[in-house]
Structure 1
Amino acid sequence: MNVKAKESRALKAETRRLFVEAVDSLHRSGTGDVIFGGMVKEGEVSVEAVAGGGRGRLSSLIVTTGRGLGGRALMEGTPQLTKNYGVDPYITHHYDEEILGEGIQVLVAVPTLRGGEVTGMIYCGHRDNFNAAAPQTSDLVKRVRQLSVDLGRLDHSRSTPEQVEPERPYSDLESSSREALRRTYAELRAIRSGVDENEMRHRLGVVENRLADILSGHNPDLFPSPTPTVSLSPRETDILSHVALGWSNARIAEGLGLRESTVKSYLNTAMVKLSAGTRHEAVSIARSAGVLP
């Protein structure tokens, strides 16, 4: 067996271990009556870990895109909830035998994400009604997000070769100058988001990109612009550029003319895409990924 094949097997084994530990931990803490989940393989979720339910029934479950609650979460990349699985008209019922066979009434499917792509799924099933299950849902989403972070770190540590850092242009910029440029960059993004006229938006975007090149040390005259490894929406980038300045959610909301809850939502989505555990880690990863200068 060659080195790459060994590394691939080791990565799969470590990934499965993390899923098994997460499923067992969620069940032990009382998050749900039945917890199960697994990684995405070729567009399907293969259940590999089960706690609190019949292993023979659920461990062989393979969920495809668009089918059932998990298939919808797989397709949309967001957590999905059904308060009464057996009669829910908004999901397909391809897996009724497995789910209803466990007596599950309330089901939550939360995807693990890396760079905006679904990499796995954790299911939490409750045999009681929704009122009894609701208090656990928020904690479930937070813990699955942490699992996304752990999986992302594992994959990054094994897939990223050690590289020699090339000498960058503008490397002589003082830290105070860099911070001033970053404030200017964030202000430009805020101004451009409020401009309706296309030509002016384009001109502001050119200046914004020039500032980003200076801050990142990229010379567009010698090398093409690198393709970011993570895709963030323009508004998510706006929010992160202000987080990088140390602004609170309330201050960002005031500066961008948004609700504080909206800022928090955009920031949470960006953190999930970046597999970041904190807002400051999100800024660091975004800079490394080339989506933030």
Structure 2
Amino acid sequence: MRVNGRGESVEVRAALLRMRRSGLLPVSFGGLVAGGGGLPVGYGARQFRISELAGTATEALRGLAITTGNGLGGKTLAMGRPYAVTEYRDSRVISHEYDAAVASEGLRSVLAVPVVVQRRVRGVLYGALRQPFALGDRPLNVALDAARELEQALVIRDEAQRLLSFAQAPLPADPRAWEEVREAHAELRALAGQVPDARLREELLSACIRLAAAGAPPQAPRTGPAPGAPQLTPRELDVLSSISSGATNAAAAARLRLRPETVKSYLRSAMRKLGAHTRLEAVVAARRAGLLP
């Protein structure tokens, strides 16, 4: 499956609003290459569309298809580097296929920064002024920070897509392959805690429930925990899931972005609820209860 583009649009808008709220880039706009595509830095994706606007006075830029190499954004797309012009209409360092749309919005000084994920240009963010002022380091750094934040959000979405695809595939019959299932379950739970998008987070947790229930004995198929199963908190389950995949307390803490002492506390609480005296007993009891795969 493909994680829908709605969440990506929300994240692009958040990046643009961050740029605009700095007070240095009152107009911002941008978009991503469709389908999560893009070629390695230096080769350029073929095209992207400007899909999100902030601080604009018209809709002239919305939906504009930016082709690699064309205009300021196309140059950024092709080269994977930031570029800026002080007077867009008169600049000799870019081509001018999009002058009409830029003029309709009344833009003069414009900068563009690439959104790069795993060395692939996934989109471009623009910041602009309606006056011909040189855009120096401060506005450029604001745009770069917004791009980095968006890149991190896209990395999380890409990983969510990979794990959800795995979780929705037919589960293995070979018992030896269940270690991979358990690792995916632990990664899904850890990732869900980092996702601000409530819909995506719910999708990840639903996949976790499916993987956990799939480990139930064949004679008692379930779609969730067994009746009467201990009520573990989400964080207790996160910790237990990481431990079940072979992680040490320190590794679980790093994965879940917790302190090792906090991991120990959650683990002790989970063991008490499960009536277990060791980590292994806790994992076995959680699997029997349909809480872990």
TM-score under structure 1 length normalisation: 0.50
Given the superposition, is the C-alpha separation of residues 132 and 80 from structure 1 closer, same or farther in structure 2, using an over 3 Å criterion? closer
How far off its partner does 1:133 sit? 5.8
- 2:83–2:112 Cα contact (<8 Å) kept: yes
Supply the distance in 2 between the matched residues of 1:53 and 1:24 (Cα, whole angstroms): 12
Work out whether 1:15 is the aligned partner of 2:18: no
Q: Which portions of structure 1, spanning 4 or more consecutive aligned residues, are displaced by more than 4 angstroms?
A: 131-134
Spell out the pairing of 1:154-173 with structure 2 (5 A cutoff): 154-160=157-163, 161=166, 164=179
Supply the distance in 1 between the matched residues of 2:24 and 2:180 (Cα, whole angstroms): 45
Supply the distance in 1 between the matched residues of 2:27 and 2:117 (Cα, whole angstroms): 25
SS in 1 for 2:53: strand
Given the superposition, is the C-alpha separation of residues 57 and 133 from structure 1 closer, same or farther in structure 2, using an over 3 Å criterion? farther
| Residue of structure 2 in register with 1:91 after alignment | 94
How far off its partner does 1:75 sit? 0.6
- 2:85–2:134 Cα contact (<8 Å) kept: no
SS in 2 for 1:58: coil
Letter aligned with residue 30 of structure 1? G
Partner residue of 1:29 out of 22, 27, 34: 22
Supply the distance in 1 between the matched residues of 2:118 and 2:56 (Cα, whole angstroms): 32
Letter aligned with residue 104 of structure 1? L
SS in 2 for 1:56: coil
Q: Deviations over 1:182-239 (max 9, x none)?
A: xxxxxxxxxxxxxxxxxxxxxxxxxxxxxxxxxxxxxxxxxxxxxxxxxxxxxxxxxx
Supply the distance in 2 between the matched residues of 1:156 and 1:108 (Cα, whole angstroms): 30
Supply the distance in 2 between the matched residues of 1:133 and 1:35 (Cα, whole angstroms): 16
How far off its partner does 1:143 sit? 1.9
Percent identity of equivalent pairs: 27
How far off its partner does 1:50 sit? 0.5
Partner residue of 1:139 out of 142, 164, 183: 142
Letter aligned with residue 62 of structure 1? A
- 1:106–1:133 Cα contact (<8 Å) kept: no
How far off its partner does 1:132 sit? 6.4
Supply the distance in 1 between the matched residues of 2:105 and 2:26 (Cα, whole angstroms): 10
Q: Deviations over 1:106-128 (max 9, x none)?
A: 11111111111111111111123
SS in 2 for 1:32: coil
| Residue of structure 2 in register with 1:52 after alignment | 55
- 2:125–2:143 Cα contact (<8 Å) kept: no
Letter aligned with residue 7 of structure 2? E
Unmatched runs of 5 consecutive residues or more in structure 1:
167-293
| Residue of structure 2 in register with 1:103 after alignment | 106
How far off its partner does 1:88 sit? 0.8
- 2:86–2:134 Cα contact (<8 Å) kept: no
Work out whether 1:68 is the aligned partner of 2:61: no
Q: How many residues align?
A: 159
| Residue of structure 2 in register with 1:191 after alignment | none
How far off its partner does 1:134 sit? 4.9
How far off its partner does 1:135 sit? 2.6
Superposition RMSD on alpha carbons, in Å? Answer: 2.2
Q: Deviations over 1:227-276 (max 9, x none)?
A: xxxxxxxxxxxxxxxxxxxxxxxxxxxxxxxxxxxxxxxxxxxxxxxxxx
Q: Higher Cα Rg: structure 1 or 2?
A: 2
Given the superposition, is the C-alpha separation of residues 32 and 44 from structure 1 closer, same or farther in structure 2, using an over 3 Å criterion? same
Supply the distance in 2 between the matched residues of 1:13 and 1:94 (Cα, whole angstroms): 29
| Residue of structure 1 in register with 2:225 after alignment | none
SS in 1 for 2:106: coil
